[in-house]
C-alpha cells in the first residue's frame, strides 16, 4: 500500500492545503419511524405515512423505536466506536412548516455513539497509486428527519409532505481528518459500504437516504500538522459547510470549487465568512445559504417527553455477536483466503453484491484468475456500459464456466475474451458458445505440426532469418495462430515451433 | 331530582348499585342542573348532554347485565385539556379554534372504560397557564363561594377553575383536572373540594394538551377524599404511549381512606411559614397539626432549605418547556390561522392573535431562558435547584411519612385583584410548585373557612408513589374537620 500523498492547490502566494470534515446523514433502515409507528415506505402518496405524533397533534408524545436504537448501536460497532450506555434526546427548536412539532428531536450533548475510527481506501487516480488512511469518527447520533416542502407546484403556495417527518436518521460526524476531494468521496463510499453491509441504511443516495454535509477550510502547509498536535482549531482556516450532497461526483466538485473560492478570497486579502453554503450542480459552484449571523438559535434543551436512553451490556453484546462480516474483515479474508492484492480485495468487498458474485465465481477455481475476470473484464465492461452489477448480462455461474474452460485448456485466454463478448451479447453459456462456433483449442500436436509445417514451407526466408534472430519467432507464432483460427494451444505451438525451427 | 346532584361519587355509585336510581336519571339531573346554572357559573365550555344520556343508557344496560365497571353511570366533567374524541378540545385557547380530536386521551379513556359518563368539557386557564382561570378564551368560571360581606365574584382558582367550580356547585359528581404547579390543589382549596396531584408518571400524559411536560400531571377534583381516591385509581395507569409513564401497579387507594394516622410521623416544614401570610392560614395549619396529634400522629418540625428557590425555578422550567411545547400551534395543520405577509407574517399573525397575554408572556420568558448564552444561567441552574429541592424532600422523608402545609397563602380572591401583577399571581403557587418540581404526590383537603366564610385547604405531600399515605392523612383531616359547609346558592 502506498504512502498517503500530500494534496496541494497552487495559489499566487504559494501552496494551500484543504481540511475536510463530514457530517453524513444516513436514513435508518426500519419499517417504522423513530418516535412513531408510522411506516417509512418510500414512494407512498404524499402525507400517507403520517401518524398523529408525526403531525404533532395536541397531546401526542414520542415513544422511541427500539429497533432504531439497535440499528444505531450496530452502526456504532461497525465504526469501531464507543457505544454510550446512557444517551439523551434534546429538542432543536425552530419554526418551519415541514417541522410540525416546531422542534427536531435530536441528540445534542449526549449521543448514543462516541468516538471511533475507520480505514478508508482511495482508488488509484491520475497516476497516483491506491492508498488507505484512517478517519476518526467523532460521534453518531439519532435524530428525526423533517418533512418535505414543495415550492414549485404552485407559484402562490408551498405544499408540505410529512411522509419523511419523523423518519430516523443517523448523523455520523467525522473529525477533520480528510484532506482531498477524492478522500472525501472515498470516505462516504466506505461509510456507505459499512452501513449497507450492516443493513442499517440502504445507502440509496439518489433517494437521499445517504447524504453528506462537508465542512471545507483551507490552510497553509504545516498548519494542519500543528492542529493535529494541539487540537486547536485556531490553527485551521475558517470553514464553510456545504449542505446536503447526495453524489460522490458533486461532493468532489463542490469541494474543489469551494477550496478555490476560499483561496481566492484569502489571497486577495479578504477573510472567509463562516457560513452554510449550497452546491449548485448545474453551475458547478457553491452559494451562500445563510451566514453565521442569521444562524438560528436552536434553544437546545433535553426533551422532557423522553427519558434518558439507557442500554446495557447485554443489549450491546447481543448485537455485537450477530454482526455480519464487515467490509474490512471481508477484505482481509479475501487477501488471506484467496491471495488477492489489498486493492483487488478492496474492490471486490466494497459492496456485498460484488463480494458474493466474486465468491461464487471463485469457488473451486483459481481465485486470482477469478479476480482478474471479475474486476478487469466484467467490472470493466459494466463501468463502460454504465450498468450496475445487478444488471449484469453475465451471471456468476456463467463466468465461472468460462474460467473452467480456460483452466481445462479447452480454450485459450485470448479466445476466452471472444467468448466473453459473446456472453455479453446474450449468446448464453460459454460451453455452448465454444461448441457452436467451434472455438475449442487445438491441442492435437499432429494437427498443429501440420499447420507449422505449412507455415514454414511457405516462408523459407523468415525460417532462415529466425535462426539468427530468435526473438522474431513471435512472428511465426502469430502466423500459426492465425492459420489455426486462434484455436491452437499457444504452449503447444511454441514448443513445436522451437523444435521445427531448431531453436 | 336535583338532590341526586348533591351526592358524592361513591354515594352515587352506591345508589346506582342498589337500584335507587338509574344512570339515565342521575345524568338527566346533572344535564338539567348544568342547563340551569352554567350561564351563571361558566364551568362548562362544551356541554355534551346527548352523548351523556346515551352513555348513561348504555351504562344502565351494562349494570342490568351485571357488567358494571367501577365508575359505571357516574357523570363526570372533563377539563378542556384532555383530548376527547369527537368533542371540541381547545385548552381554552383561541389558537386551537374549533379543534376536534380524532383520538381520546388515555386518562379519559380509562374513565369511559369503567363506564363513566361525560357531561362536557370544563373551563381552565389558557393552556393551564394561570392561577385564577382568567386567561381562558371563554372568560373565567365563577366560584360558587362568596365572601359573607360581599357579592363580588371570586375566582375558583386556576388553572382547573372550571373543574373546581363544577364539583363545588354540583355540576358533576367529580372532574378530571391537571396540575403543573398547583392547578388541581389551589382550585380545590378555593372551592372547598378535594384535589390530588399524583406522583409524576402515575397517570399518562397521552392526549393531554401539554403545558410543561416534566411537571404536568393528571388528577381529579372531587367532593370527598374517598371520591378522589377512587377516581385517581381509575385515572392512573401505565401507558406505553407516554415514555414518562411509570410501569407500576396502581394500589387500592380507596381502601386506604379511613385507615387513620396512628403512629405516623408528619413533618411540618418551617419554610412554608412565609411573610405576610394571613393569620387565618397559620391558624388553620396549627389546627390541622393538633388534629393529627390527637389522632395519634407524631408531629416533627422539619426543614426544606431550598423551598425559597422553588417558585423562581418553576417559573423558568415551566415556561421553557411551554415555549417548545406550544411551537406546534403554528396555524399550519389545525386550529386557528391568520394569514399574513409570507410565512413569517402568518406565523406572527396566527400566534399573536391565537395566544392570550399570559401565554405570550410565558412563551417569551421560556424562549429567553433557553436562548444561547442564557441557558446555563437560567434553565440549567433552575434544573440544579430542582435537584436540590428533590434532595430536600428525600432527606426529610427519611424522618417523616408525609408533610403537612397550607395549600395556598390565601383564600379565593376576587377577579381583577391580582390580574395586573403577574408576580402576585405567581405567588399563589408558592406551596404547591415544590411537589411538581420534585414529582411528589400532593393532596389538598378542605379544612376550614376564613373570617369571610371562604374555604381553606391543607396540603399533604407524600413520598414518591406513596399516595396511600396522602389519602390516609387526608382522610383523617377530612374526618377531623368535618367540613360540611356549602356555598349559599346565588346562581
pLDDT in tens, B394-430: 999 999 999 999 999 999 999 988 777 777 788 889 9
Residues A113 and A66 in one domain: yes
Q: Which residues of A touch B (CB under 8 A)?
A: 52, 55-64, 91, 93, 95, 97, 100-103, 158, 160, 297-301, 304-307
Residues A214 and A246 in one domain: yes
φ, ψ at B444 (rounded to 5°): -110, 135
Q: How large is the angle between the packed helices A181-198 and A327-338, nearest 10 degrees?
A: 90
Mean pLDDT of chain B: 96
The ipTM (two decimal places) reads 0.96
Mean pLDDT of chain A: 93
Residues A486 and A419 in one domain: no
- Whether the per-residue pLDDT at B1 is higher than 50: the answer is no
Residues A482 and A336 in one domain: no
Are the C-beta atoms of residues B261 and B292 closer than 8 Å to each other? yes
Q: Which of A63, A93, A297 sits opposite B327 (nearest CB)?
A: A93
Whole-number pLDDT of residue A114 = 98
Kindly state whether residue A321 falls inside one of the protein's structural domains.
no
Are the C-beta atoms of residues B76 and B5 closer than 8 Å to each other? no
- State the pLDDT confidence band at B81, using cuts at 50, 70 and 90: very high
Tell if the CB–CB gap between A59 and B372 is shorter than 8 Å: no
Query: In this predicted model, what pLDDT tens digit does every residue of A399-414 receive, in sequence order?
Result: 999 999 999 888 888 8
Whole-number pLDDT of residue B418 = 78
Q: 3-class SS at A137?
A: strand
Kindly state whether residue A79 falls inside one of the protein's structural domains.
yes
- Whether the per-residue pLDDT at A371 is higher than 70: the answer is yes
**Cα separation, B142 vs B38, whole angstroms:** 10
Query: In this predicted model, what pLDDT tens digit does every residue of B3-51 receive, in sequence order?
Result: 999 999 999 999 999 999 999 999 999 999 999 999 999 999 999 999 9
- Kindly tell me the burial class for residue A462, based on how many C-beta atoms sit within 10 Å of its own C-beta (0-12, 13-18, 19 or more): middle
Spatial strand order in the sheet of A103-106 = A103-106, A90-93, A301-302
Residues A190 and A273 in one domain: yes
- The CA-to-CA distance between both ends of chain A, in Å, stands at 42
Closest C-alpha among B146, B156, B206 to residue B185: B156
The angle subtended at Cα A408 by Cα A405 and Cα A414, nearest 5°, is 55
- Whether the per-residue pLDDT at A291 is higher than 80: the answer is no
- State the pLDDT confidence band at B491, using cuts at 50, 70 and 90: very high
Kindly state whether residue A223 falls inside one of the protein's structural domains.
yes
Suggest the residue from A34, A52, A61 to mutate for an interface test with chain B (most B CBs closer than 10 A). A61
The grid coordinates of residue B21 equal: 336510581
Kindly state whether residue A347 falls inside one of the protein's structural domains.
yes
Range in A428-442, B445-459, B473-487 with the lowest mean pLDDT? A428-442
Q: 3-class SS at A350?
A: coil
**Cα separation, B322 vs B365, whole angstroms:** 10
Q: Mark residue A208 as left, alpha or beta (left: phi above 0; alpha: psi -120 to 50; beta: remaining).
A: left
The grid coordinates of residue B81 equal: 385539556
> How many domains does chain A divide into?
3
Kindly state whether residue A313 falls inside one of the protein's structural domains.
no
Whole-number pLDDT of residue B35 = 98
- Whether the per-residue pLDDT at B132 is higher than 90: the answer is yes
Q: Distance, in angstroms, between B343 CA and closest chain A CA?
A: 9
The average pLDDT across A212-223 equals 97
Domain boundary among A437, A458, A484: A437
B268 vs A: CB within 8 A? no
- Whether the per-residue pLDDT at B2 is higher than 70: the answer is no
Q: Is the dihedral of CA A462, A463, A464, A467 positive or negative?
A: positive
Instruction: Determine how β-strand A103-106 pairs with β-strand A116-122.
Output: unpaired
Radius of gyration of chain A measured on its C-alpha atoms: 30
Q: Mark residue A379 as left, alpha or beta (left: phi above 0; alpha: psi -120 to 50; beta: remaining).
A: alpha
Query: In this predicted model, what pLDDT tens digit does every residue of B335-360 receive, in sequence order?
Result: 999 999 999 999 999 999 999 999 99
Residues A415 and A357 in one domain: yes
Residues A90 and A221 in one domain: yes
Whole-number pLDDT of residue B59 = 98
- State the pLDDT confidence band at A442, using cuts at 50, 70 and 90: confident
Domain boundary among A232, A266, A301: A301
String of DSSP letters for A140-185 = EEEEE---EEEEEEETTEEEEE-TTTT-EEEEEEE-S-B-SHHHHH
The grid coordinates of residue A208 equal: 437521499
**Cα separation, A447 vs A441, whole angstroms:** 11
Range in A76-85, B418-427, B476-485 with the lowest mean pLDDT? B418-427
Kindly state whether residue A306 falls inside one of the protein's structural domains.
no
Containing domain of residue A349, as a range?
327-437
What domains can you pick out in chain B, each with its CATH number?
Answer: 2-263 (3.90.1300.10)
How far is residue B109 CA from its own chain's centroid? 18
B262 included as an active-site residue: no
- The CA-to-CA distance between both ends of chain B, in Å, stands at 18
E strand or H helix at B121, and its extent?
strand B117-122
**Cα separation, A436 vs B297, whole angstroms:** 106
Residues A222 and A287 in one domain: yes
Tell if the CB–CB gap between A305 and B207 is shorter than 8 Å: no
B47 included as an active-site residue: no
Kindly state whether residue A311 falls inside one of the protein's structural domains.
no
Tell if the CB–CB gap between A299 and B328 is shorter than 8 Å: no
**Active-site hit among B183, B226, B245, B410:** B183
Whole-number pLDDT of residue A293 = 66
**Cα separation, B313 vs B322, whole angstroms:** 14
Residues A279 and A376 in one domain: no
- Kindly tell me the burial class for residue B245, based on how many C-beta atoms sit within 10 Å of its own C-beta (0-12, 13-18, 19 or more): buried
In chain B, count H helices and then E strands.
Answer: 15, 11
Instruction: Determine how β-strand A148-154 pairs with β-strand A157-161.
Output: antiparallel
**Active-site hit among B22, B37, B79, B223:** B79
Q: Which of A95, A158, A301 sits opposite B370 (nearest CB)?
A: A301
How far is residue A19 CA from its own chain's centroid? 21
Closest C-alpha among A112, A321, A78 to residue A197: A78
Query: In this predicted model, what pLDDT tens digit does every residue of A317-358 receive, in sequence order?
Result: 999 999 999 999 999 999 999 999 988 998 899 888 899 999
Residue with cell 437516504: A209
Q: Which residue has the higher pLDDT, B311 or A490?
A: B311
Closest C-alpha among B442, B412, B480, B209 to residue B310: B442
- Whether the per-residue pLDDT at A274 is higher than 50: the answer is yes
Length of chain B: 491
Amino acid at each position: 500500500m502506498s504512502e498517503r500523498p500530500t494534496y496541494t492547490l497552487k495559489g499566487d502566494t504559494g501552496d494551500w492545503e484543504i481540511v475536510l470534515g463530514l457530517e453524513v446523514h444516513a436514513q435508518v433502515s426500519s419499517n417504522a419511524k423513530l418516535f412513531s409507528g408510522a411506516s417509512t415506505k418510500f414512494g407512498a402518496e404524499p402525507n400517507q405515512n403520517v401518524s398523529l405524533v408525526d403531525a404533532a397533534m395536541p397531546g401526542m408524545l414520542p415513544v422511541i423505536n427500539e429497533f432504531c436504537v439497535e440499528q444505531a448501536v450496530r452502526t456504532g460497532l461497525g465504526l469501531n466506536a464507543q457505544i454510550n450506555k446512557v444517551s439523551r434526546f434534546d429538542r432543536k427548536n425552530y419554526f418551519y412548516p415541514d417541522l410540525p412539532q416546531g422542534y427536531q428531536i435530536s441528540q445534542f450533548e449526549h449521543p448514543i455513539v462516541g468516538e471511533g475510527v475507520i480505514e478508508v481506501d482511495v482508488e488509484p487516480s491520475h497516476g497516483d497509486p491506491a492508498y488507505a488512511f484512517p478517519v476518526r469518527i467523532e460521534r453518531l447520533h439519532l435524530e428525526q428527519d423533517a418533512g418535505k416542502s414543495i415550492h414549485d407546484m404552485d407559484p402562490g403556495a408551498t405544499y408540505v409532505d410529512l411522509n419523511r417527518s419523523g423518519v430516523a436518521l443517523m448523523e455520523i460526524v467525522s473529525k477533520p481528518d480528510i484532506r482531498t476531494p477524492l478522500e472525501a468521496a472515498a470516505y462516504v463510499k466506505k461509510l456507505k459500504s459499512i452501513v449497507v453491509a450492516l443493513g442499517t441504511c440502504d445507502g440509496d443516495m439518489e433517494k437521499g437516504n445517504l447524504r453528506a454535509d462537508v465542512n471545507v477550510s483551507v490552510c497553509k502547509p504545516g498548519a494542519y500538522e500543528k492542529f493535529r498536535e494541539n487540537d486547536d482549531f485556531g490553527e485551521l482556516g475558517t470553514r464553510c459547510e456545504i449542505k446536503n450532497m447526495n453524489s460522490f461526483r458533486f461532493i468532489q466538485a463542490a469541494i474543489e470549487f469551494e477550496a478555490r473560492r476560499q483561496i481566492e478570497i484569502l489571497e486577495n486579502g479578504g477573510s472567509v465568512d463562516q457560513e452554510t453554503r449550497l452546491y449548485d450542480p448545474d453551475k458547478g459552484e457553491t452559494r451562500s445559504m445563510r451566514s453565521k449571523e442569521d444562524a438560528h438559535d436552536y434553544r437546545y434543551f433535553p426533551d422532557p417527553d423522553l427519558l434518558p436512553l439507557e442500554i446495557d451490556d447485554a443489549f450491546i453484546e447481543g448485537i455485537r455477536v450477530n454482526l455480519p462480516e464487515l467490509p474490512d474483515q471481508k477484505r482481509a479474508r479475501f487477501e488471506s483466503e484467496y491471495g488477492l492484492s489489498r486493492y483487488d480485495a478492496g474492490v471486490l468487498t466494497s459492496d456485498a453484491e460484488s463480494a458474493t458474485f466474486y465468491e461464487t465465481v471463485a469457488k473451486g477455481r483459481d481465485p486470482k484468475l477469478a479476480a482478474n475476470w471479475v474486476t478487469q473484464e466484467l467490472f470493466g465492461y459494466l463501468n463502460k456500459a454504465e450498468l450496475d452489477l445487478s444488471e449484469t448480462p453475465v451471471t456468476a455461474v456463467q463466468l465461472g464456466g468460462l474460467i473452467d474452460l480456460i483452466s481445462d485448456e479447452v480454450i485459450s485466454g485470448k479466445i476466452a475474451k471472444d467468448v466473453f463478448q459473446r456472453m455479453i451479447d446474450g449468446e448464453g453459456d460459454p460451453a455452448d458458445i465454444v461448441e457452436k462456433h467451434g472455438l475449442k483449442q487445438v491441442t492435437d500436436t499432429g494437427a498443429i505440426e501440420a499447420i507449422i509445417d505449412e507455415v514454414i514451407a511457405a516462408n523459407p526466408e523468415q525460417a532462415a532469418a529466425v535462426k539468427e534472430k530468435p526473438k522474431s519467432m513471435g512472428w511465426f507464432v502469430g502466423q500459426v495462430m492465425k492459420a489455426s483460427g486462434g484455436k491452437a494451444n499457444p504452449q503447444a505451438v511454441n514448443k513445436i515451433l522451437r523444435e521445427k525451427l531448431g531453436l | 331530582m336535583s338532590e341526586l346532584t348533591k351526592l358524592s361519587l361513591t354515594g352515587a355509585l352506591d345508589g346506582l348499585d342498589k337500584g335507587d336510581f338509574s344512570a339515565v336519571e342521575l345524568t338527566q339531573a346533572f344535564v338539567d342542573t348544568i342547563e340551569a346554572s352554567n350561564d351563571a357559573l361558566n364551568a362548562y365550555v362544551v356541554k355534551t348532554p346527548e352523548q351523556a344520556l346515551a352513555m348513561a343508557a348504555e351504562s344502565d344496560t351494562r349494570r342490568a347485565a351485571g357488567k358494571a365497571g367501577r365508575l359505571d353511570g357516574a357523570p363526570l366533567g372533563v377539563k378542556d385539556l384532555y383530548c376527547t374524541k369527537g368533542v371540541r378540545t381547545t385548552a381554552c385557547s383561541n389558537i386551537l379554534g374549533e379543534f376536534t380530536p380524532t383520538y381520546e386521551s388515555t386518562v379519559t379513556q380509562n374513565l369511559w372504560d369503567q363506564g363513566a359518563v361525560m357531561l362536557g368539557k370544563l373551563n381552565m386557564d389558557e393552556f393551564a397557564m394561570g392561577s385564577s382561570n382568567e386567561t381562558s378564551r371563554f372568560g373565567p368560571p365563577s366560584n360558587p363561594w362568596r365572601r359573607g360581606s360581599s357579592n363580588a365574584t371570586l375566582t375558583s382558582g386556576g388553572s382547573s377553575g372550571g373543574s373546581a367550580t363544577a364539583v363545588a356547585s354540583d355540576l358533576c359528581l367529580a372532574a378530571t383536572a391537571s396540575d403543573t404547579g398547583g392547578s388541581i390543589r389551589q382550585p380545590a382549596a378555593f372551592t372547598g373540594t378535594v384535589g390530588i396531584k399524583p406522583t409524576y408518571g402515575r397517570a399518562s400524559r397521552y392526549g393531554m394538551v401539554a403545558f410543561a411536560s416534566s411537571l404536568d400531571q393528571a388528577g381529579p377534583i372531587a367532593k370527598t377524599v374517598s371520591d378522589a381516591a377512587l377516581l385517581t385509581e381509575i385515572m392512573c395507569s401505565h401507558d406505553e404511549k407516554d415514555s414518562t409513564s411509570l410501569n407500576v401497579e396502581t394500589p387500592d387507594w380507596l381502601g386506604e381512606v379511613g385507615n387513620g394516622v396512628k403512629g405516623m410521623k408528619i413533618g411540618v416544614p418551617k419554610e412554608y411559614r412565609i411573610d405576610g401570610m394571613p393569620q387565618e392560614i397559620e391558624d388553620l395549619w396549627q389546627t390541622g397539626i393538633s388534629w393529627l396529634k390527637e389522632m395519634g400522629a407524631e408531629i416533627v418540625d422539619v426543614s426544606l432549605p431550598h423551598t425559597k428557590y422553588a417558585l423562581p425555578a418553576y417559573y423558568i422550567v415551566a415556561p421553557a418547556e411551554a415555549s417548545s411545547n406550544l411551537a406546534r400551534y403554528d396555524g399550519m395543520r389545525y386550529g386557528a390561522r391568520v394569514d399574513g405577509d409570507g410565512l413569517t407574517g402568518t406565523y406572527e399573525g396566527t400566534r399573536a392573535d391565537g395566544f392570550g397575554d399570559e401565554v405570550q408572556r410565558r412563551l417569551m420568558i421560556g424562549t429567553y431562558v433557553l436562548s444561547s448564552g442564557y441557558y446555563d444561567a437560567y434553565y440549567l441552574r433552575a434544573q440544579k435547584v430542582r435537584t436540590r429541592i428533590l434532595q430536600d424532600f428525600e432527606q426529610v422523608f427519611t424522618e417523616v411519612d408525609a408533610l403537612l402545609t397550607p395549600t395556598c397563602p390565601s383564600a379565593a380572591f376576587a377577579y381583577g385583584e391580582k390580574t395586573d401583577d403577574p408576580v402576585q399571581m405567581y405567588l399563589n403557587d408558592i406551596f404547591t410548585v415544590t411537589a411538581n418540581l420534585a414529582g411528589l404526590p400532593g393532596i389538598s383537603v378542605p379544612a376550614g373557612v376564613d373570617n369571610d366564610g371562604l374555604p381553606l385547604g391543607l396540603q399533604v405531600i407524600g413520598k414518591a408513589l406513596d399516595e396511600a399515605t396522602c389519602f390516609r392523612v387526608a382522610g383523617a383531616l377530612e374526618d377531623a374537620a368535618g367540613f360540611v359547609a356549602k356555598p349559599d346558592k346565588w346562581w
